[in-house]
């Protein structure tokens, strides 16, 4: 005999929302959950940096304890010795001090604030440009699609790092806004191709034809009818793109074309310590470790979201 409770349960399962199924798949992915928790922790501690860290990043030499003595155990030690070598990790400076006696932990946290801000906003710029470009190209098709697609392919033919270096050199400015715009501009083509492919498959669907039959305009159909169906792939792409943009910002700052001192970022921190890595390894090691963990966390989160939101798994 068939169990009526089991039969009712089976009938209810198809009526569960897609978001509930996606969340159930996502929460089973422990690596993705761990990545999300780490990212949330990093965002919170970066946003609250003035409340969390003991030493700032733009204080005077006296406030930064340059050439000062600190108590470690029962002894008094110089933060930077007479040979100009900084102090390594200890009870006071948990991650050590840099060449001017500044706390590396404080700069890593403030650097995460800058690197995350640049990566998130640059990803937003890429999304806006790529979304508009790919949607217009695929929706109108014909000559419009051919022209916009060729321009997109022309952009992709340039090595993006060299293009970013050329733009940064031409602008002769390394403000946060300029760095964000440069990274967003050179990376939009990837989301443009993704959006174009998705819109090509959606523009002939029944709900689009129904909206057109009801008199909806092109702008309404593109951004009110088709766009909601792109949310899942855009979320996945954005998560993975943030990881790539963190590395991109790090590369520009390391080359001296990104965020400039005294504003700390993980890239310029590594650059400052490269010449002394054999005697003061902590100056480059800890910013590098922060980059590694953050990029890994975003990639794990992106992979988990992709598996959870993939319609084929519904």
Token readout for 303 is: 């992979």
- Domain locations in the chain as residue ranges: 105-313
CATH code for 105-313? 1.10.3720.10
Phi, psi of 72 (to 5 degrees): -125, 115
Q: Above 60 in pLDDT, residue 5?
A: no
How far apart CA 63 and CA 53 sit, in angstroms, is: 14
Q: Kind and range of the H or E element at 78?
A: strand 75-78
CA distances from 251 to 9, 21, 78, 161, 279 (A): 54, 39, 33, 8, 23
Q: Quickly state the pLDDT bin for 33 (edges 50, 70, 90).
A: very high
How far apart CA 39 and CA 205 sit, in angstroms, is: 37
Q: Do the Cβ atoms of 46 and 264 come closer than 8 Å? A: no
Q: Quickly state the pLDDT bin for 13 (edges 50, 70, 90).
A: very low
Q: Above 60 in pLDDT, residue 195?
A: yes
Q: Above 60 in pLDDT, residue 6?
A: no
What does pTM read for this prediction?
0.81
What's the rounded mean pLDDT across residues 133-146? 88
How far apart CA 237 and CA 137 sit, in angstroms, is: 19
Q: Quickly state the pLDDT bin for 60 (edges 50, 70, 90).
A: very low
How far apart CA 19 and CA 231 sit, in angstroms, is: 12
Q: Above 60 in pLDDT, residue 61?
A: no
């Amino acid at each position: 005999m068939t169990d009526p409770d089991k039969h009712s349960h089976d009938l209810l399962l198809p009526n569960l929302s897609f978001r509930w199924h996606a969340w159930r798949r996502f929460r089973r992915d422990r690596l993705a959950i761990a990545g999300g928790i780490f990212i949330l922790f990093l965002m919170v501690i970066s946003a609250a940096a003035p409340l969390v860290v003991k030493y700032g990043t733009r204080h005077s030499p006296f406030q930064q304890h340059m050439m000062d003595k600190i108590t470690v155990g029962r002894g008094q030690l110089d933060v930077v010795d007479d040979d100009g070598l900084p102090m390594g990790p200890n009870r006071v400076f948990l991650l050590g001090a840099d060449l001017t006696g500044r706390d590396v932990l404080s700069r890593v946290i403030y650097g995460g604030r800058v690197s995350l801000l640049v990566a998130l906003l640059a990803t937003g710029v890429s999304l806006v440009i790529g979304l508009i470009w790919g949607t217009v190209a695929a929706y109108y098709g014909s000559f419009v699609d051919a022209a916009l697609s060729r321009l997109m392919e022309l952009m992709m033919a340039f090595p993006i790092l060299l293009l970013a270096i050329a733009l940064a050199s031409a602008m002769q400015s390394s403000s946060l806004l300029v760095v964000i715009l440069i990274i967003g501009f050179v990376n939009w083509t990837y989301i443009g191709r993704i959006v174009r492919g998705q819109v090509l498959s959606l523009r002939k669907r029944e709900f689009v034809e129904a909206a057109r039959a009801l008199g909806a305009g092109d702008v309404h159909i593109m951004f009110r009818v088709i766009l909601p169906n792109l949310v899942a792939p855009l979320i996945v792409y954005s998560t993975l793109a943030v990881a790539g943009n963190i590395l991109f910002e790090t590369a520009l700052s390391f080359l001296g074309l990104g965020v400039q001192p005294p504003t700390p970022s993980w890239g310029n921190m590594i650059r400052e310590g490269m010449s002394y890595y054999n005697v003061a390894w902590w100056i480059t090691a800890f910013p590098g470790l922060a980059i590694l963990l953050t990029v890994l966390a975003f990639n794990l989160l992106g992979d988990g979201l992709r598996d959870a939101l993939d319609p084929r798994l519904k």
